[in-house]
Structure formats: structure tokens, C-alpha cells
Structure 1
Amino acid sequence: MGSSKIAKTNESSLRYLSVNTYGSVMGISGLSLAWRLSHHLFGTSSLISEWIGLMAIIIFAFLSISYMIKWVKFPQVVHSEFSNPIAGNFFGAITVGILLISSIILPYCRLLAQTVWILGTILTIIICYFLVSRYFMVKQDQLHAVPAMLIPVVAILNVPVTGVLMPFAWAHELNMFCFAVGSIAAFIFLTIIVSRLLHQEPMTTAMNPSLLILIAPFEVGFLAYVNLTGTIDMFASILFYFGLFLFTILFFKASNKSIPFSTTWWALSFPLAVLSNASLKYAAYVNSWPLKGIAAIILVLVTVVITVLFIRTMIHLISGKLLRG
């Protein structure tokens, strides 16, 4: 009887499992890829990237099983979450996780990585289409224009970031399509979001960690552009440096210790991880010690931030605070 009651309690607590928890997969996967670049640039151990990548895969599998159970047990809750003009954007985090995991797997099993990438790409385009198209169906509340609005378009920008090595004849044009959609949509949405942040009521304090998402289009765009063109030119430098500048403005506001901890804090992780990837790639190209120093500092910072977020998440999960209504 006791074990049955506990199982039922655990199942019911899954109704409070938020889709924004997938931000952890994005951040940890991005961190794994950053340490892979660090191995080539600084000669750090490849085991660091491998272990972090394995952790990302395990967490993704655990979250996916848990969220599928939630979908079966509480379909109306999942539908409500998807329909929410703010929370619904985080469904794009699921597909970003799939795309990044394909890059983690690629050196070890190309066929599996290609299969995962194709699945992630299809789901990314579908989710991006539905989440973006709904903005044109009904009148939107300008207060809903928050940084999370960028997640679906950042997701589609990740297709060329992760798919540049795919050998399919059609992959290049698909990557170009996704780059075009993601970059132009990101420009439009950034304009709307910044206008809302400057001229409307401020977001709730709990949403402040998501401010760092504003740097993601620039750094993901930098990685996608460099992958597609095969070089770092002036336009790529503009994307990288503006994202870095924006990071210096937003980081301390987004990571203020007074903000109560919740899964929304994971919104910090992926923008930091992608900034780390971009800075490592840029430093390797320029081969300048100041830029290598910046890349090393950012890598250490994102590693510390994600480690702290992971520990705090586990503490809240064990204590029962994480899945509480």
C-alpha cells in the first residue's frame, strides 16, 4: 500500500514538470560541445566533453520519459502549456536538445547521429511553424513579447549549426532554408521584444534569467553562418562581438541572487554555452591570446554556472520543491 501511494504521488507530481526544464539539456549539451572545442584549442582532456555529453543524453532520456508520462496522464495540462503564449515557446527547447545530442553522438556513431539530426530537424521545423504562425492568428498582448519568444527561431538556427557535416545531397539547401528563416525571424522578434522591454512594464523578477536568451540569436547565428560559409568574415565578427557586448550588459541582471530559484534559471545555461562555443571558435580562428583568454574565462564561467544550477536542481528535486504546484 505504501509503495503504491508513493508511486501515485510521484505520478501526480509530474503534472508540475515544466517543459522549460529541457533548458538543462540545451545548456549541458552546449557545454559538452564547448569542452570538445576546448580540447582542440587548449588541449584539455576529451573525457570532460564525453562525460558531460553522456550526462546530457541521460537527462534528456529521463525528462522525455517523464514528460511522456505527464502527456498520457495529464494531456490537458500539456495542451495548456503548449497553448500558453510564453511557456509554449519552451517546446522549442526539446528539439534544440535533440539537435545538439546529434552533434554529441556524431564522432561515435555517424548513422545514429544522422538519424537523430533528421528527427530533430523535422520536429524543429514543425514546432517552429506552429509556434510562429499562431502569432498571426489572433491579436497578441505586447506584454507576452519576452525573450522566450526567441526559442523557436533559435531552434531552427541550430539546424545548420549541427547539420553542416551531414552528407545528404539535400542537407545544404535545408541548412540554408533554416538559416534564412531563423535569422530573419530572430531579427523581427528581437525588435518586438526590445521594444516591449524598453516601453512596457518590466517582466516579473522570476523571468529575469531568460534575458540572457537575447544573446543566443547572435552567437547561434555566428556559428551557423561560419558553418555555412566556411570562414569568419566581417559579418561573422559583428555577430560574435555584439553578442559578447550584450552578454556583459545582461549577465548580472539575469543572474541576480535575489531571484528565487526555479527551472527558469536554466534559461541562463544555453546562451552561455553557445557564447562559449562561439568564443572558442573565434579565438581559434584569430589565434590571439587575449581572445583565447576571454574564451577560457567564459568556458570556466559557464561550467561553474551549469554546475551550480545542476546541484540546486537536484536539491530541489530531492526535497520535493521542484515538482510542487
Structure 2
Amino acid sequence: MTYEHMREVTLGLRPLSRLASPREVVRQFTPNWFAATMGTGILAIALAQFETSVPALHGVAEGLWMFNIGLFALFSCLYAARWIFFFDGARRIFGHSVVSMFFGCIPMGLATIVNGFLIFGLSRFGPVAVDIAWTLWWIDVALAAVCGVAIPFLMFTRQTHAIDQMTAVWLLPVVAAEVVAVSGGLLAPHLADGHAQLVMLTLSYVLWALSVPVAMSILVVLLLRMALHNLPHANMAASSWLALGPIGTGALGLMTLGGAAPAILAANGLERFGAFADGLGLFGGLLLWGYGLWWFALALIVTLRYLRDGLPFNIGWWGYTFPIGVYAVATLKLGTMLPIGAIYGFGTLLVAALGLLWLIVGARTVGGAWRGDLFVAPCLKSE
């Protein structure tokens, strides 16, 4: 073993050895890290779907949810510290054409925590879990709405974009609204007041509409970009799966809102529309799910192509997890609504793949964070 190799191994054993100073963790911290909370949160939600068939998984899922709360709190503190202590560097994100897109990861990560309060919190904390979820949901609505409007505005006014440089990360800020819409569909039936339920249901449909049509428009442009300019650089390989996110969430949103709508509408004198909402949830969700199969197959083939040529690890690998996870949950939901075992079985396979992927990406993230490799803010490269 050469001296240089021994030195490299020794440095690798020391925390943050690749950084000039521990302060760089804060100075280089970006919203990209919240993608880890999205992936962890959706895995917890996906595993919870097997509570009846595999009860032991519920405890694992609840543990992941609690871990995700801690992770989200840690990342929030680190990112807030960056704005406090490195304000001039932090504000550069608004002009960066890629990193700014990851602002959408913050409300999406928070949405998985909101859902967890309904899935796990009710049995552990009682009715107060609904109150916490209600408060966090309204905060999430505000965050998602701001991301969905402000980031595209910055794209139009302050940033420089080119069609050949476009990737699916354009979806991140606009998809947040539909993720929050799914949370609203889960939360609304738990509210005590019938009118409050209707307000939340209505707003959730509006949030869905604020997101899904815009996301579908972006996918059209993305398809054109891929045909004209081929695949993005290997550093952006994970973005190949991001298209599955708005499709899976859009399907899950229609099915979740459609399931909640009949009782809520009936309680507010609108029972004549309940059957329509329920049917729209099933068939709209089915059509979006089918559309997602095309993107799933394409993303799988593209990933195999990247693997053949070499696939460098970066924090963007978390982009594999949430889209697969939300599509898996939508598949399981569809499998419970339609008596077709193959659909539910496919969803089960997707959750298993998600669990394995989470372990791989999580382990590599811990290693990269320990060394300091992953704390890189592209918007500071000009310094």
C-alpha cells in the first residue's frame, strides 16, 4: 500500500475530512438534502400499507416515520443556519437554474410527516395528532403554493435555461402542490366540522389542479428535449425517474380525494356529486397509473444504460426513491379498489425494490456525509 493510499484511507476515517472546515457543512447545505426526507417518508408510508398482512412492518414503518421527523428537523436547522450565517451565499440559489428547483423538496418532505401523523400518530398520540397534522398541513399548503408559483417566475425572469440543458428537475417545484393535496384527502375525513372538511377537500382538488396539468405540460417539453438532445449527463441520471412522481401522485390524489368525497359532500348537501367524485377517482387514477407504466419502463431502460457507462453517486440519487415510492403506493391503492391481484402484487414488488434502494442510497449518503463529499452547493462555484 502506497503512502498516498494510506493517507487517503486515514482521511476517509475522519469526519468531514474532505471539507476545509466543519462550517462548510452549513455554508454548502442546499434543499437537495430534503429529498432524503421524501424518500424516507414515502418508504414509511408504503410499508404501512401492509399493516394487516404483515403486522411487523408497521413497527418498522413507524420507526422510519419518527426518524424522518428528526431528519427533517435537522435539515431545517442546517438550512436556516445557512441563511443566518451565510446569507449572501444562500440567496444565490434563486439565480441557479437547477438547485432552486429543489425548494419543492421541502413541502413534499413535510407532507410525508403530515401523513404519518394520521397513519401512526392517531394510535400513539390520540386526537391531538389530527390537530398537529392540521396545523402542519396549512403550513405545507403555503410552502407548496409559493414554490409552485415563485420558482417558475424566477425561471422566467432571473435564471438562464436552455432546452438542451432541461431535465425533469423542473417538475419539483410544481409537484409539491399535488403531494399536499393527497395529504388533504387523508386529513379531511378526520376533521370534526363538516364545513371544514368541505373546505379542505375543495382546496385539495384546487391544489391538485395547480400541479398536475402544469407537470403534464413539462413532461411534453421533456419528451421533446430527450428526442432532440439525448440523455442528460450521468450526474443527473436520477432525474429520469422524476417524471413518475407527478403521475403517481396525481393518480393517488384522485383516488384518495375520490374516496373521501362522497361522505363529505353528502354532509354538506352535495350528495348528488359524490358518485361522480368516487368514479373520477378510480378511472382517473387508473388512466394516470397506466400512463405511469410507460414512464416507468422508459426510466428503467435509461437507468440500465447509465449503469453500463458508469453512474457516479451524488445526493441526487434520492431522486430514485420518492417517485418509485409514490407510484408504489398508488399501485397498492388501485389494487385495493380493483379485484385484480396482479396490480397489488406489482405494488408489493415496487415497495420491496424501494426498501432495497433506500438501504443502498442511505448507506452511501451516510458515507458521503461523513467524509463531507456531499456538501456541495453548485450556486457557490463562482467563488
Q: TM-score, normalised by structure 1?
A: 0.91
SS at match of 1:151: helix
Instruction: Report the Cα distance in structure 1 between the residues aligned to 2:362 and 2:141, rounded to whole angstroms.
Output: 27
Please say if residues 41 and 284 of structure 1, whose CA atoms lie closer than 8 Å, have aligned partners that are also in contact.
no
Please say if residues 254 and 268 of structure 1, whose CA atoms lie closer than 8 Å, have aligned partners that are also in contact.
no
- Correspondence for 1:291: 343
SS at match of 1:85: coil
Task: Label 1:184 to 1:292 Cα distance change in 2 as closer, same or farther (>3 A).
Answer: closer
- Correspondence for 1:210: 239
Instruction: Report the Cα distance in structure 2 between the residues aligned to 1:225 and 1:54, rounded to whole angstroms.
Output: 27
Question: 2:218 pairs with 174, 189, 193, which one?
Answer: 189
Task: Label 1:222 to 1:41 Cα distance change in 2 as closer, same or farther (>3 A).
Answer: farther
- Correspondence for 2:106: 94
Instruction: Report the Cα distance in structure 2 between the residues aligned to 1:313 and 1:177, rounded to whole angstroms.
Output: 36
Q: Among the aligned pairs, what percent are the same residue?
A: 21
1:119 aligns with 2:168: no
1:247 aligns with 2:259: no
Paired residues, what number? 319
Instruction: Report the Cα distance in structure 2 between the residues aligned to 1:41 and 1:79, rounded to whole angstroms.
Output: 48
Q: Radius of gyration: which is bigger?
A: 2
Please say if residues 244 and 275 of structure 1, whose CA atoms lie closer than 8 Å, have aligned partners that are also in contact.
no
Of 98-107 and 249-258, deviating more is 249-258
Instruction: Report the Cα distance in structure 1 between the residues aligned to 2:351 and 2:176, rounded to whole angstroms.
Output: 22
Please say if residues 29 and 79 of structure 2, whose CA atoms lie closer than 8 Å, have aligned partners that are also in contact.
yes
Instruction: Report the Cα distance in structure 1 between the residues aligned to 2:214 and 2:364, rounded to whole angstroms.
Output: 34
- Correspondence for 1:32: 44
Of 184-193 and 134-143, deviating more is 134-143
How big is each residue's C-alpha offset from its partner over 1:207-258, in whole Å with a ceiling of 9 and x where there is no partner? 0111100111111000111122224533321111221332122125337442
1:291 deviation in Å? Answer: 2.0
Instruction: Report the Cα distance in structure 2 between the residues aligned to 1:251 and 1:82, rounded to whole angstroms.
Output: 32
1:8 deviation in Å? Answer: 9.2
In structure 2, what residue type is equivalent to 1:317? A
1:315 aligns with 2:367: yes
1:226 aligns with 2:226: no
Please say if residues 41 and 280 of structure 1, whose CA atoms lie closer than 8 Å, have aligned partners that are also in contact.
no
- Correspondence for 1:4: none
Question: 2:95 pairs with 70, 78, 83, which one?
Answer: 83
Please say if residues 94 and 154 of structure 2, whose CA atoms lie closer than 8 Å, have aligned partners that are also in contact.
no
1:132 deviation in Å? Answer: 1.9
How big is each residue's C-alpha offset from its partner over 1:16-47, in whole Å with a ceiling of 9 and x where there is no partner? 22321111111111111111112246555310
Instruction: Report the Cα distance in structure 1 between the residues aligned to 2:375 and 2:53, rounded to whole angstroms.
Output: 40
Task: Label 1:324 to 1:174 Cα distance change in 2 as closer, same or farther (>3 A).
Answer: closer
1:131 deviation in Å? Answer: 0.9
What is the Cα-based RMSD across aligned positions, in Å? Answer: 2.1
Q: Runs of 5+ in structure 1 lacking a partner? A: 1-6
Q: TM-score, normalised by structure 2?
A: 0.78
Question: 1:199 pairs with 228, 231, 237, which one?
Answer: 228
- Correspondence for 2:284: 235
1:320 deviation in Å? Answer: 2.5
Q: Runs of 5+ in structure 2 lacking a partner? A: 1-18, 122-128, 260-277, 378-383
SS at match of 2:109: helix
1:305 aligns with 2:357: yes
Question: 1:61 pairs with 73, 85, 97, which one?
Answer: 73
Please say if residues 181 and 207 of structure 2, whose CA atoms lie closer than 8 Å, have aligned partners that are also in contact.
yes
Instruction: Report the Cα distance in structure 1 between the residues aligned to 2:100 and 2:164, rounded to whole angstroms.
Output: 15
Task: Label 1:42 to 1:222 Cα distance change in 2 as closer, same or farther (>3 A).
Answer: farther
Task: Label 1:78 to 1:40 Cα distance change in 2 as closer, same or farther (>3 A).
Answer: farther
